[in-house]
């Protein structure tokens, strides 16, 4: 008690400074490729021209992504066209070989098996390839 009285008398002579401390934390989130207009305006107020740079960069990224997608589609189409041409060549070569064996007097069974494999092999390869590609595209 004696200490409290002494402490109160000593601290009474010291001016009391009361400084209010207020801390505010604000979190802002958005969803989408570019910030909302209000946020772009705030960016532009901080750094003039920043909003235009952000939008321009987004447009460049969109063009780049579309160019890549176009290249992938064109290459896939080209690959499918080539595979169909190669399948036709293999099938015709197999049928020609089967016909030559048949005309040369070989067993009709051997010529028939070669003809079936020559036509069915490339066709089944194309179907299996498409099935695998479709299964990869599904989530």
* pLDDT of res. 120: 85
Average pLDDT, the chain: 84
Q: What is the pLDDT of residue 13?
A: 65
* Apex 57 CA angle, 51 and 62, nearest 5: 130
DSSP string, 39-101: HHHHHHHHSTTHHHHHHHHHHHHHHHHHHHHHHHHHHHHHHHHHHHHHHHHHHHHHHHHHHHH
Kindly give, in sequence order, each residue whose CB lies less than 8 Å from that of residue 52, ignoring residues fewer than 6 positions away. Answer: 44
pLDDT in tens, 86-126: 888 988 998 899 999 889 988 888 888 888 888 888 888 87
pTM for the model stands at 0.52
The yes-or-no verdict on residue 17 having pLDDT over 80 is no
């Amino acid at each position: 008690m004696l200490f409290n009285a002494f402490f109160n008398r000593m601290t009474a002579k010291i001016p009391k400074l009361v400084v209010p401390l207020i801390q505010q934390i604000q979190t802002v989130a958005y969803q989408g490729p570019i910030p909302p207009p209000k946020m772009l305006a705030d960016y532009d107020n901080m750094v003039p021209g920043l909003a235009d740079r952000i939008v321009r960069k987004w447009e460049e990224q969109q063009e780049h992504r579309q160019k890549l997608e176009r290249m992938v589609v064109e290459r896939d189409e080209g690959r499918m066209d080539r595979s169909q041409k190669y399948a036709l060549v293999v099938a015709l070569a197999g049928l020609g070989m089967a016909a030559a064996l048949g005309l040369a007097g070989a067993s009709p069974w051997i010529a028939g098996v070669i003809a079936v494999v020559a036509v069915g092999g490339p066709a089944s390869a194309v179907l299996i390839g498409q099935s695998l590609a479709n299964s990869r595209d599904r989530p």
